[in-house]
Amino acid sequence: MGFISGEQHALQVIVLGAGGGPLEDNVTAFLVRASASGWKKGSVMAVDGGVGLAAISRILHGHKQNRPFTNKSAPSDGVDSPIALIDGPFEGLEIPSVSSSANAKYIYRELIDTVLFTHPHLDHIMGAVINTATPAPTRQKRFAGLPSTIEALKLHIFNNAIWPNLTDENNGAGMISYIRLVEGGSPAAGQGYSKGYVEVAPGLGVKAMSISHGTCIENHTHRGNTPLQTPSPFPGEGPRLGSPMANNYMQRSNSVTSSNLNTSVPMITGGTPSPAGECVYNSSVFFIRDSATGKEILIFGDIEPDPISLSPRNHLVWKEAAPKIASGKLTGIFIECSYANSRDNDQLFGHMKPTFLMQELKMLGDYVINSKNGGEKSNGDQDYSLISPKRKRDRAGSVASAAPDDRNLKTPRQQSPIEPENSDNQPSNQNFLVPRSPHNRRRGSSASANPSKNGPLPSYPEEKPEDRPFLPLKGLRVVIVHVKENLDDGIAAADIIRNELRELEGTAGLGCEFIISHSGLSLYF
């Protein structure tokens, strides 16, 4: 069963796919529902679709039911009580069939009406696309996302070349309807705390924001671009404009601009202008709100750190989220951490590693402190939206790896009574709850083995946990997704990342709880 506590739960999230590749059977996909809606028709919303039916079937295979099927009693004959699942992520679901694959089809056809897509990379859409071939569909599916994501699906997937045009646009088959969400929320939707949230499933409101996910590797020029002037969110540092990160993300094999490539890359005040043609790939993050209780979670698509982004936008998300965390309404964040700290920064390809994730969470913590202080600046709090860099950065430099290569270093683990020792992403209904452990404060200052690829870290002020007025993120669960498997005989990538986050949190003292996700994990918020 998923995470349970004494309070009433508003939202349930089931992890179908937790990884970021290269294993194709465990890539990003979630199911979300409002607990009050039960398991009724259309009550489940999918977020990303790297995997789908196969993962649902695999998870169902481990469930128990309240009574067996018999030859004399069909599940719908009304004579006996309905046959329902009594444990696992789908607990309480009444099932119509004996086999897990048939029941997975039932969930897909009857319960899931809407799929939200953070961005159109294959590891986030593959399962959802292939699942459209499910036999005997009964009604339209709604594929929702920011306009750039929908445009990519329309042009490059459902185009009668890669996949049949099953949509209701361009004379398609009409079995899929696109929903184009408005950046930052719809100005016409809701009021008060629900303003901007569009209900896309029963009891679930959604607000989308754009984030950055690397850059295009091609050195091509987009004519007519006028870079915008925007301040840096980082005190004393500007993003590495013109650095290797500017050319590190493979998107396309021709010079046609993808709809998810943001070619109007902002310049950073006081920084070095971006070379012509550098374009940032757009991903998105969803604020998902339970309409009845106002409880919220955040689910990020693939995301890069603001310190090395050509278009830093994460701080805008944190600023939006902070008051919700301060009030106790937002209690869960699903965010990627693809690589361990040993990964060179110019090889992150628009992804996170623990040092950068912790920097982002520190920024969030400062915004929460500011919010709890009624908007007044707290000790060490920075107005990230107004600070310009104090110096230009070396065009060839990059941000340092904050930890030595510890792929062969076993860090002692604290074993939680509900945390299995293995990390092979096998389906399970338990949580990975990560207790904090002491952190070696000098670890973050270790010199990189490759100084040509690594420069100084952003100049964040050094803090001890006791320097903060309270644990700003206490009660927040940070669920780690999109871990990329290293596929060797050493320590599993998830274990390395878990240990590194645990150590960094031991120093930062934010108070958040890290959970390493796996397929079959069920969480309640």
H or E, element range at 326:
helix 314-326
Helix (H, G, I), strand (E, B) or coil at 53: helix
Closest by alpha carbon to 261, among 162, 119, 48?
Answer: 119
More confident call, 186 vs 89:
89
Q: What is the pLDDT of residues 302-340, one digit of tens each?
A: 999 999 999 999 999 999 999 999 999 999 999 999 999
pLDDT higher than threshold 90 for residue 425 = no
CB atoms within 10 A of CB 372: 18
Q: What is the pLDDT of residues 195-249, one digit of tens each?
A: 899 999 999 999 999 999 988 777 544 433 333 334 444 443 433 333 333 333 3
User: Cα–Cα distance between 319 and 321 in angstroms, integer?
Assistant: 6
Q: What is the pLDDT of residues 143-177, one digit of tens each?
A: 999 999 999 999 999 999 999 999 999 999 999 99
First-to-last alpha carbon distance for the chain, in angstroms, is: 14
| DSSP H helix total and E strand total for the chain | 7, 17
Closest by alpha carbon to 22, among 483, 410, 481?
Answer: 483
CATH superfamily of 11-70+80-419+438-524: Ribonuclease Z/Hydroxyacylglutathione hydrolase-like (3.60.15.10)
> Which tokens in the block code for residue 390?
């104090």
Which residue in this structure is represented by tokens 């937790």?
18
Report the pLDDT averaged over residues 254-261: 49
User: Cα–Cα distance between 471 and 176 in angstroms, integer?
Assistant: 45
Instruction: Give residue 488's identity as a one-letter amino acid code.
Output: D
Which residue in this structure is represented by tokens 């940070």?
478
The percent of residues above 70 in pLDDT, for the chain, comes to: 67
Q: Where are the domains of the chain?
A: 11-70+80-419+438-524
Burial of 481 by CB count in 10 Å (0-12 exposed, 13-18 middle, 19+ buried)?
buried
What is the pLDDT confidence band of residue 56, given thresholds at 50, 70 and 90?
Answer: very high
* Predicted pLDDT of residue 409: 34
User: Cα–Cα distance between 525 and 516 in angstroms, integer?
Assistant: 16
